[in-house]
Amino acid sequence: MSARGVVFDLDGTLLDNMALHAEAFAIFMRRHGLGAGGFGGTAGSPQLDERARIDSARADDERRRAQLDGKRNRDIFPVLFGRQLEEDEQRRFAEEKEGLYRELSRGRLVALSGLERLLERLHARGIPVAVATSAPPENVRHTLAELGLSARFDRIVRADEVPRGKPYPDVFLAAARVLGLPPADCLAFEDSPAGVAAAKAAGMTCAGVTTSFSASALASAGAAPDFTLADFDEFLAGPGAWLTRD
């Protein structure tokens, strides 16, 4: 395969950091007296044996994360609180949770294996790269600075700059537009079901990065990725091998 442009999601794709976001959300939810993300589950049922309870808890957790991961805060917080929020509440809650994330993640972020080599190969071939993310601007700056990648992307498009967040295709369509390419000529890297659905709806080839969800969970988005990979080394050794040829 080949591509004329590449669009990366940020969290969970450029780096394996979703556990830090989960930790920040857990602290936030405890502060506000919230349960497990506003969702029910069967993990604590006394009728289940221990192994069944563990398996059920894992399945419940993955279902909850599939409903939230990759989406904008303004789409997440109403689910957590079980009600629509005023704009000032949305802003305060987002600032609180994302502040927790930046505090927890400072000095702990590492790029996914093979990312820097992939960026170098794309640059050498003159292939433009963009980030298409649901993260707020402060997080984008923080994360790219922590990774030492602030100057490595041609364009950055955030979901708060488009009418609809993932799983709608708006942010990927905007990324293709700023790269000056048809979406069909772009390859997207995504780690969440919502992100995969958004990239596919935009008409892009999509690689599912399995840092956060299994390949089967990514396929449950209703628009399965074209292929999956654990990291960018795997991509360069497989579907992206054309980038390594002189």
Q: Tokens 């298409």 map to which residue?
A: 132
Q: Cβ of 34: how many Cβ atoms within 10 Å?
A: 15
pLDDT tens across the length of the chain (246 residues): 789 999 999 999 999 999 999 899 899 999 999 864 433 333 333 444 544 433 433 445 555 655 566 677 778 888 888 888 898 998 899 899 999 999 999 999 999 999 999 999 999 999 999 999 999 999 999 999 999 999 999 999 998 999 999 999 999 999 999 999 999 999 999 999 999 999 999 999 999 999 999 998 888 766 789 999 999 999 999 999 999 987
Order of strands, sheet of 155-158, starting from the edge strand that comes earlier in the sequence: 155-158, 129-133, 5-8, 186-190, 205-209, 227-229
| Res 169: pLDDT | 97
User: What CATH architecture applies to the domain 5-16+110-244?
Assistant: 3-Layer(aba) Sandwich (3.40)
- Kindly compute the dihedral angle of the four CA atoms of residues 80, 82, 85, 90, in this order, to the nearest 10 degrees: 0
Q: Where are the domains of the chain?
A: 5-16+110-244, 18-105
Catalytically annotated residues: 9, 11
Q: How many CA atoms lie less than 13 Å away from 199 in the CB half-sphere?
A: 34
Q: What residues are paired with 90 via a beta bridge?
A: none
> Amino acid identity of 191?
D
Query: Is the omega angle on the peptide bond into residue 167 within 30 degrees of 0, that is, cis?
Result: yes
Cβ contact 227:196 at 8 Å: no
CA dist., res. 123 & res. 185, Å (int):
17
